[in-house]
Structure 1
Amino acid sequence: MHRNATLAASAAALSLALTACGGSEPEPAAPESEPTVRAMQDRTDEPTAAPVPFPEAADGEDYEACFDGECEVHVTVGSEIEFDGEFRVPTTTVESIGDSVTVVARDSNGYLSFELGEDGTGNFQNTLNVQVVAIREEEAVLKFWPGEYQG
């Protein structure tokens, strides 16, 4: 009988302790798919990355600066750039701009064409190099410099 009294007293004490703590059933946890108010505040406090600015071309849209074979220019579709005859590439034209830039050089013998992505480089007849510095929507910055062979 002493044993039953001890068990009853223990059960009563446990029941009293649970009631004092707010009840015998634990509160359900918030579903994981619903963010808490604090989690939502944390998200809004995070800094957002600033957009990378489109680089300024050193020569802007001054395509005449390219005549000597060395320039960095801002181009759009249809831009035509003329070079000195020593480069054997009299005129280049920007044919298209998207994920890449298509640059075409034409002369009396035909044409050479490059489709270059950002940071891509090409070489017209070893006399003139071209690099796509940056692309954004329907504009690009191209850099030209002399190649190894001129003659």
Structure 2
Amino acid sequence: MYKRQSVAVAAAAALIAVGGCGGGADESADEPAERSAAPAPAQPPSEELVEWVGGMCASTTALRAVRKDSAADLAEIRKPDKNGASAEFLAVGYLSRTPTGVDDVERDLKDLGPSGVPAADRLRDAWLKKLNGVVPELDKLSPSAAFDDAEGSAAEVDGLIQSLTPPDPDLPALTRKDPRLAAAHQRAEQCAPGWKPSESPATPAPASSGPLPEAADGRNTGACSDGECEILVTSAVDITANGLNVHVTADDDSVTFRTANTVMQLGGSGGVAEFGDDLTVTVVAQNEDGSVLKFTSP
């Protein structure tokens, strides 16, 4: 009895094993036992995110240009062309125009608003924190500092400008971690290699005014003591008009006015410099020979 049961159990086990193998083979032939899951298609980024990332790229590009230009300007101020403008003159222009580019970027980043992607918003906040530490310092430094220490004042500003490097992680690093940002970065035109902001149509240069008109008072700066005169300035001169001392420098394409508290620079196309209620100076004409200036007072 025991022997027959053992044989029956062994036979049944063999039959199950054969049946299992046969069933597995048939099932494999009809349909794969396991299928690889197809990746879900990536969702395209919203237009708002594309615009946000494009704005961030534009601001980053603008600051990179400001840093590059600042370094070049400082190098020129340190070693001015012997036949060109003086270090003081170059520094006045540099200190006057450089903060504007930084102010523009700060305004653009504030207008950008939140992106909806936490990591990207942290990047914007980090940029604004850097800018908030630099902009007030730039505002403290008057262009008139260039007359006291041209190289030192320019170096101080350049140090602030060069500190405006991208926070870590920057936008490219974030795009490698977030598919949404990567897709938006790919679609934003401002993020394309070599992109530059579109330039406004160039303003036509003013027509040559020809020879300078004759100044009513010639080169006689003493005629300006009462605040009313018209004189010719061909280089640098100190003028006292209506009790205000003004240092005037005429260059090929601009005139710079310096008082104890202010510095103003007017282009060769003319303009008016106002010194409170005390004095107004109008650039009547200018060319490479000098400037004809009309002083008036109330």
Could you say which TM-score interval applies, normalised by the shorter chain? 0.5 to 0.7
Q: Which of 247, 255, 258 is matched with 1:101 structurally?
A: 255
**Residue correspondence of structure 1 range 78-117 to structure 2 within 5 A:** 78-85=236-243, 89=244, 91-106=245-260, 111-117=261-267
Residues 1:96 and 1:59: Cα distance change in structure 2 (over 3 Å): closer
Aligned-pair CA distance for 1:119: 2.7
- Secondary structure of 1:64's counterpart equals helix
Distance between the aligned counterparts of 1:77 and 1:53, measured in 2?
17
Distance between the aligned counterparts of 1:100 and 1:114, measured in 2?
10
Residues 1:126 and 1:84: Cα distance change in structure 2 (over 3 Å): closer
Q: Match of 1:7?
A: none
CA contact (8 A) 1:77 1:96 kept: yes
Distance between the aligned counterparts of 1:83 and 1:56, measured in 2?
20
Question: What does the per-residue CA deviation read over 1:49-103, in whole Å, with 9 as the maximum and x for residues that have no partner?
Answer: xx83310110001111000000000002221111243xxx2x1111341321111
Distance between the aligned counterparts of 1:84 and 1:69, measured in 2?
4
Aligned-pair CA distance for 1:146: 0.3
Is 1:70 aligned with 2:220? no
RMSD: 1.7
| Structure holding more helix per residue | 2
Distance between the aligned counterparts of 1:138 and 1:52, measured in 2?
11
Structure 2 gap segments, 5+ residues each: 1-208
- Secondary structure of 1:79's counterpart equals strand
Q: Match of 2:283?
A: 132
% identity of equivalent residues: 42
Q: Which of 105, 108, 122 is matched with 2:273 structurally?
A: 122
Aligned-pair CA distance for 1:114: 1.4
TM-score w.r.t. length of structure 1: 0.53
